Amino acid sequence: MSRIERSLTSLEAEALSSPEKAFNLTDGHPRQPLTASQRVITDTIPAMFDEALDRPFADVERCAHAAFYGCTGQLKAPIGAGRILSTYSSTIALDIVARVLAERISEVAVLHPTFDNIADLFRARGLRLQPISEQQIDTGSWHPPANVGAVVVVTPNNPTGWILRRESLRRLATACARSGQVLVMDASFRGQDPRAHYDTYQTMQETGVEWVVVEDTGKLWSISELKAGFLSWSAGSTLRFVKAFDEVMLSVSPVILLLIAKMAADARARGFDEMHSGLEANRSLVATILADTPMELTDPDSRISVARVTLPADGPDAHDTYCALVQHGIHTLPCSRFYWARPADGDRQLRLSLSRPAVTVERAARALAKIYQPVRRQAAVSR
């Protein structure tokens, strides 16, 4: 298989479109059976069509916003203030952000590593990028230079699971406010980690920073991409989000918004606990299977729906491992493209999705372990 650099999304699309029975562990979206309470909700979808006809769209949208933001503790989100736009996905929302920022600035700092389409979207709008690391943010050692007009962070971060803690956010937002930079946050994985459920909107508002936040429902519930991405911004911002939105789309489906509202209520009642325990069980399963190999979990403290595996220096790299697994009908992601500024940094990391049935995760982990059996035997002989 060619080593031509392909985007992570293209690798995910290949797994989805595989004509053969494939084990898809590429994307972080849930692809597993509904819980009992979720199935009760989906059984009422026909009634949602009737409700969508009877209720004003603005009312449906406001209720969906309140339920979704409320289930993760984002009580100071600008619900009902005319500063939340509902889009088809977080990708569309981020593209709108990149487009609007490019009208004002020319350079942005983007978290590194993170999912490559974030960097791709900003580059496509003509913006120059510079990387900023999780460690720099945590230690406060990075200060926004004058040529950078916006700082883009992802929390929880895909693929590392890193969380932008409240005090780190306050410090970063304060620095951006003093320097006049826009703080852009992608919180698409927020629901998967309770440590990210503090009210980030309140924290940012207290600093006076100009902020933009993208949220997403697609990582939370296994509802076959019936999702929405939400774009919100700070009061007083002159960035032209509404104009850019109007040039792209009219609205999302009110039926999907009603579904999101019900799923969010279920998540708040019991669904998040079920999701978190399922992800942790699958993460522990991978760790157990790899315990007798030269591989290990790169981010053992991560709680999101993906897990990186660090590969040994004396075995196949991530690309070759990915290709070997594809031969067995198992699709994963080599991590080079997450390191959008220095791809070689990810050559020894592979990412597995955990929002899958346990049997699927187990099969992938065992196939991965088998690839490295010769490496393990060779290491034992050398000792």
Model confidence over 275-298: pLDDT tens digits?
999 999 999 999 999 999 999 999
For the chain, domains (ranges, CATH) are 8-35+270-374 (3.90.1150.10), 36-265 (3.40.640.10)
Model confidence over 47-66: pLDDT tens digits?
999 999 999 999 999 999 99
Cβ(78)–Cβ(215) under 8 Å? no
Question: Is 123 a residue whose pLDDT tops 70?
Answer: yes
List, as one string, the DSSP characters of 21-63.
Answer: --EE--SSS--SPPPHHHHHHHTTHHHHHHHHHHS-HHHHHHH
Residues forming a β-bridge with 250: none
pLDDT at 383: 47
Provide the pLDDT confidence category of residue 18 given band limits of 50, 70 and 90: confident
Cα dihedral sign, 219-220-222-227: negative
Provide the pLDDT confidence category of residue 374 given band limits of 50, 70 and 90: low
- Lookup: tokens for 46: 């026909």
pLDDT at 372: 84
pLDDT at 1: 47
| Strand 107-111 to 150-154 pairing | parallel
Question: Is 220 a residue whose pLDDT tops 80?
Answer: yes
Mean of all residue pLDDT scores within the chain = 94
Model confidence over 314-372: pLDDT tens digits?
989 999 999 999 999 999 999 999 999 999 999 999 999 999 999 999 999 999 999 98
- In the sheet with 84-87, reading across from the earlier edge strand, the strands are 84-87, 229-233, 210-216, 182-186, 150-154, 107-111, 128-132
Question: Is 126 a residue whose pLDDT tops 90?
Answer: yes
- Percent of the chain at pLDDT exceeding 70: 96
Q: How far is CA 37 from CA 65, 174, 225, 262, 272, in A?
A: 21, 42, 19, 10, 12
- Percent of the chain at pLDDT exceeding 90: 91
Amino acid at 150: A
The pTM of the full predicted model, rounded to 2 decimals, is 0.95
Model confidence over 63-89: pLDDT tens digits?
999 999 999 999 999 999 999 999 999
Q: How many residues does the chain have?
A: 383
Burial track 166-185 (b if 16+ CB lie within 10 A, e otherwise)? eebbbbbbbbbbeeebbbbb
pLDDT at 145: 87
CA max distance for the chain:
73
Model confidence over 225-251: pLDDT tens digits?
999 999 999 999 999 999 999 999 999
Question: Is 203 a residue whose pLDDT tops 60?
Answer: yes
Provide the pLDDT confidence category of residue 3 given band limits of 50, 70 and 90: low
pLDDT at 379: 47
